[in-house]
């Protein structure tokens, strides 16, 4: 039975995808990434435009989220869902909370905002690479961080394919993504507060394993009756 939904938000390179990937490999846990549940035509239209980068209309968002939550409930093998970089706006907070309350009224929503120093964000952006062979992205714009081969950091440790920078990390697109997050973050926090839900901030300057341990401890503490 679905027990909790963990919304992981934060600026570009805060470690959202790396963190959710780690948790998604654990039994009973699954990851929701909005772009994996919307039509390719919508993704393609927003992939390279700094003005519309990643923007998806509310109707599409609501339908995608509802269908996903319904599928999780029907399968009945997942107790925790992690939302990677979702919600991305105050309106999406409303969509999320209302959908969960309707479909899984006993499920608890835990929003977690990852925060990191500017120097750390910049370093991660410079270093991260993606693999076009391992991640079959519908619009050929892979997002998941690839594991580099220790013997050759330019190649994927899984398939030996050459790694590439993420398209969205190009300076113009990255600046647009960073600005959009900063503009939306306050509204997202306020929207959760309006539903009586506290957004917990989690420092993500450390290695992925440390951040995962911190999130586990946080969720366990919230699950323990006071």
On whether residue 20 sits in a domain, the answer given is yes
Does 46 score more than 70 pLDDT? no
The mean pLDDT value for 108-115 works out to 97
Please tell me the predicted confidence (pLDDT) of residue 45. 58
On whether residue 93 sits in a domain, the answer given is yes
**Residue 96 belongs to what domain range?**
4-117+171-223
Please tell me the predicted confidence (pLDDT) of residue 147. 93
Please tell me the predicted confidence (pLDDT) of residue 138. 76
Please tell me the predicted confidence (pLDDT) of residue 2. 96
On whether residue 57 sits in a domain, the answer given is yes
Q: Are 12 and 126 in contact (CB under 8 A)?
A: no
Q: Are 71 and 36 in contact (CB under 8 A)?
A: no
Q: Are 136 and 123 in contact (CB under 8 A)?
A: no
Q: d(Cα 136, Cα 168) in Å, to the nearest integer?
A: 16
Does 81 score more than 80 pLDDT? yes
The mean pLDDT value for 55-84 works out to 95
Does 25 score more than 60 pLDDT? yes
On whether residue 190 sits in a domain, the answer given is yes
Instruction: Give the residue among 110, 97, 91, 108 at the shortest CA–CA distance from 7.
Output: 110
For the chain, what percent of residues have pLDDT higher than 70? 92
Total count of residues recorded for the chain? 226
On whether residue 33 sits in a domain, the answer given is yes
Mean pLDDT is lowest, of 48-52, 146-150, 182-186, for 48-52
The mean pLDDT value for 97-124 works out to 96
On whether residue 151 sits in a domain, the answer given is no
The residues, ordered by sequence, that sit 6+ positions from 5 with a Cβ below 8 Å of its Cβ are 80, 81, 82, 83, 96, 100, 107, 108, 109, 110
On whether residue 62 sits in a domain, the answer given is yes
The mean pLDDT value for 166-178 works out to 91
The mean pLDDT value for 65-85 works out to 97
Q: Are 182 and 11 in contact (CB under 8 A)?
A: yes
CATH number, position 182: 3.40.50.300
Per DSSP, helices labelled H in the chain are 16-24, 40-46, 58-75, 90-103, 118-127, 171-194, 208-223
Between residues 98 and 224, which one has the greater pLDDT?
98
Q: What is the DSSP letter of 11?
A: S
Does 111 score more than 90 pLDDT? yes
Give me the number of domains the chain comprises.
1
On whether residue 123 sits in a domain, the answer given is no
Please tell me the predicted confidence (pLDDT) of residue 38. 87
The mean pLDDT value for 171-199 works out to 94
Banded pLDDT at 221 (limits 50, 70, 90): confident
The residues, ordered by sequence, that sit 6+ positions from 175 with a Cβ below 8 Å of its Cβ are 50
Backbone angles phi, psi at 49, to 5 degrees: -95, 120
Please tell me the predicted confidence (pLDDT) of residue 226. 44
The mean pLDDT value for 76-83 works out to 97
């Amino acid at each position: 039975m679905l027990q909790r939904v963990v919304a992981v938000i934060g600026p570009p390179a805060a470690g959202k995808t790396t963190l959710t990937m780690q948790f998604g490999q654990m039994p009973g846990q699954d990851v929701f990434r909005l772009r994996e549940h919307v039509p390719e035509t919508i993704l393609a239209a927003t992939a390279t435009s700094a003005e519309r980068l990643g923007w998806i209309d509310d109707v599409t968002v609501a339908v995608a989220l509802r269908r996903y939550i319904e599928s999780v409930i029907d399968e009945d093998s997942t107790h925790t869902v992690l939302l990677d970089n979702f919600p991305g706006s105050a309106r999406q907070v409303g969509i999320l909370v209302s959908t969960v309350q309707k479909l899984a009224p006993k499920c608890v929503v835990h929003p977690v905002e990852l925060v990191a120093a500017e120097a750390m964000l910049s370093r991660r952006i410079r270093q991260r690479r993606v693999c076009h062979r391992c991640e079959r992205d519908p619009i050929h714009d892979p997002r998941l961080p690839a594991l580099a081969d220790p013997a050759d950091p330019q190649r994927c440790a899984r398939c030996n394919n050459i790694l590439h920078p993420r398209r969205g990390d190009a300076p113009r697109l990255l600046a647009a993504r960073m600005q959009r997050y900063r503009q939306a973050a306050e509204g997202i926090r306020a929207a959760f507060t309006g539903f009586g839900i506290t957004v917990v901030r989690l420092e993500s300057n450390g290695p992925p394993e440390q951040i995962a341990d911190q999130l586990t401890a946080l969720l366990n503490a919230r699950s323990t009756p006071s």
